[in-house]
Chain A
């Protein structure tokens, strides 16, 4: 089945650690996106990538980094510079201006 997969579903991070969230899609989509969602809030854009080896910052990129070495993959690293990383992270992909497909999300908690 075609789709977009995020892993892990739950992730715990110690303060000062970097962690990487995985996002893989087999939909042959060109564009991929990372969002952060805090409780009761909407989605805020962290980074997006329109093609391989290219990505742009969204509204809240500070403390995060991404790479796009393959069309299928768009991992997000939450660095120690992100002071409040506890949140629900969503990855999405789309192509040609069509509607976006979302993964099931990763819930990150700082312990």
Chain B
């Protein structure tokens, strides 16, 4: 499984766009990139998943460069309720892999008024 590296923490203000970058230099050809969000005392929940270029849904965008050695989660116009820990996972393949899911330490995002 590819190891991921994320910043430990980030601060932002309400209404700003937040970009969290994850490095995954050893990503394999069949690996997808998945981001989860976790609030205190709750289980993580899925945000977005992508393989290459750009993916957008109702809550976030995911940018993946051509070499796929990194990815950036973009949260538009954050609010106080976006304060959480964000995890980047690599290796969760859509091709039927049900192996282990390894979480890193994540990025703690603090949004201030």
Check A33–B97 contact: CB distance below 8 A: no
Report the bound CA distance from A104 to B96 in whole Å.
25
* Cβ-based interface call for B41 (8 A): yes
> A33-B101, A97-B98 given as contacts; is B44 within 8 A of A102 (CB)?
yes
* Cβ-based interface call for B61 (8 A): no
> A94-B98, A97-B93, A97-B96 given as contacts; is B43 within 8 A of A102 (CB)?
yes
Check B43–A33 contact: CB distance below 8 A: no
Indicate the member of A33, A90, A99 with the most B CB atoms within 10 Å: A99
Check B105–A42 contact: CB distance below 8 A: yes
Residues of A within 8 A of B34 (CB): 99
Residue of B nearest to A100 (CB): B101
**Size band of the B side of the interface?**
20 to 34
* Cβ-based interface call for B100 (8 A): yes
Main secondary structure of the interface of A (DSSP, over half): strand
Main secondary structure of the interface of B (DSSP, over half): loop
Residue of A nearest to B6 (CB): A42
Check B103–A43 contact: CB distance below 8 A: yes
B 78-109 to A, binary, CB cutoff 8 A, 1 in contact else 0: 00000001010000111111111111111000
Q: How many A-B residue pairs have CB under 8 A?
A: 71
* Cβ-based interface call for A107 (8 A): yes
Indicate the member of B85, B96, B101, B106 with the most A CB atoms within 10 Å: B101
> A99-B34, A100-B46 given as contacts; is B97 within 8 A of A105 (CB)?
no
Check B105–A92 contact: CB distance below 8 A: no
CB distance from B50 to the nearest CB of A (A): 12
A-B contact pairs, 10 of them (CB 8 A): A35-B103, A42-B105, A43-B87, A58-B100, A92-B43, A96-B96, A97-B92, A97-B97, A99-B46, A104-B42
Which residues of B pack against A, CB within 8 Å?
32, 34, 36, 41-46, 49, 85, 87, 92-106
**Closest A-B pairs by Cβ, 7 of them:** A102-B43, A99-B46, A31-B98, A42-B105, A43-B103, A97-B97, A50-B98
